């Protein structure tokens, strides 16, 4: 099999299971937290708070990128499909005139924030490497699909817009208004997962590195809020029409 076909095949396979990537990070983070030495870091009381703020900023920045992309896309572009590549139209304006894969760029920063919160530089580097190897193949397969489907229209757009590192040189404003409803309908699970991930890291760090550890009130409140947020919006999505909109995926 030619390398180009092998990369495309691998990319399509990973595309189907791209939602499992955070699970891999969670599994890897447990031994990372266990074997990370926090003794010198936690001696300074402000370190943990500073690290938390930096991590939240990174994850929030990633969510903002995703929200802009999702909130200004119509129903004819690819959505949350997992079985195969789908697209009836090509996004070329708004954030898609700045970067070709804004959703994956958003994912990177969302998960980077959580990984940074482990305070392990080696885990941060491993995450960056894993993300690149994993998502480079997915992006390759997606672009092969789009090139075959849209031909010269895709090639012309892709020559002007970088794949992953944004450039505002050729920015074109989106003609689709931002939709908060679309974000609430499509992104509630991701937002909840990120919030719960911070609780996850915090819990295991204290469990492994503090004597007689008892879960804190803050962890309990964060856990409850994250679960309730997800359940409420899931109910709105599946059992009401409050979040439905025409021409949105």
pLDDT at 79 over 60: no
Residues whose CB falls within 8 Å of the CB of residue 18, separated by 6 or more in sequence, listed in order: 82, 134, 135, 138
CA distance 224 to 119: 25
Per the domain annotation, does 40 fall within a domain?
A: yes
CATH number, position 104: 1.20.120
Domain that holds residue 107: 3-177
Per the domain annotation, does 226 fall within a domain?
A: no
Per the domain annotation, does 67 fall within a domain?
A: yes
DSSP 35-76: H---HHHHTSHHHHHHHHHHHHHHHHHHHHHHHHHHHT--TT
Grade residue 73 by pLDDT with cuts at 50, 70 and 90. Answer: confident
Q: What is the pTM of this model?
A: 0.89
Per the domain annotation, does 204 fall within a domain?
A: no
Q: Count the domains in the chain.
A: 1
Per the domain annotation, does 233 fall within a domain?
A: no
Q: How far is CA 181 from CA 37, 137, 232, in A?
A: 43, 31, 14
Tens of pLDDT along 198-227? 988 988 888 888 776 777 788 888 888 888
Per the domain annotation, does 190 fall within a domain?
A: no
Tens of pLDDT along 148-158? 888 889 899 99
Per the domain annotation, does 37 fall within a domain?
A: yes
Residue environment code for 123-161, b if the CB has 16+ CB neighbours within 10 A, otherwise e: beeebeeebeebbbbbbbbbbbbbeeebeeebeebbeeb
Per the domain annotation, does 228 fall within a domain?
A: no
At residue 82, the pLDDT reads 52
């Amino acid at each position: 099999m030619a390398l180009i076909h092998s990369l495309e095949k691998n990319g399509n396979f990973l595309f189907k299971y791209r939602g499992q990537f955070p699970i891999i990070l969670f599994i890897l983070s447990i031994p990372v937290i266990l074997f990370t030495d926090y003794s010198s870091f936690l001696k300074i009381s402000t370190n943990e708070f500073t690290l938390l703020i930096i991590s939240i900023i990174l994850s929030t920045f990633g969510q903002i990128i995703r929200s802009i992309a999702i909130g200004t896309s119509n129903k004819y572009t690819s959505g949350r499909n997992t079985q195969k590549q789908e697209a009836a139209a090509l996004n070329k304006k708004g954030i898609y005139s700045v970067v070709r894969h804004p959703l994956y760029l958003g994912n990177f920063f969302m998960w980077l924030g959580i990984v940074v919160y482990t305070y392990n530089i080696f885990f941060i580097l491993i995450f960056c490497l894993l993300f690149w190897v994993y998502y480079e193949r997915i992006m390759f397969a997606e672009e092969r699909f789009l090139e075959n489907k849209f031909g010269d229209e895709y090639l012309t757009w892709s020559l002007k817009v970088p794949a992953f590192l944004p450039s505002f040189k050729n920015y074109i404003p989106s003609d689709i208004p931002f939709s908060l409803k679309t974000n609430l309908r499509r992104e509630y699970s991701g937002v909840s997962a990120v919030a719960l991930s911070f609780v996850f890291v915090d819990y295991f760090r204290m469990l492994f590195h503090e004597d007689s550890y008892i879960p804190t009130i803050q962890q309990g409140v964060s856990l409850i809020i994250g679960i309730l947020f997800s359940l409420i919006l899931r109910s709105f999505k599946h059992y009401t029409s409050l979040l439905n909109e025409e021409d949105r995926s």
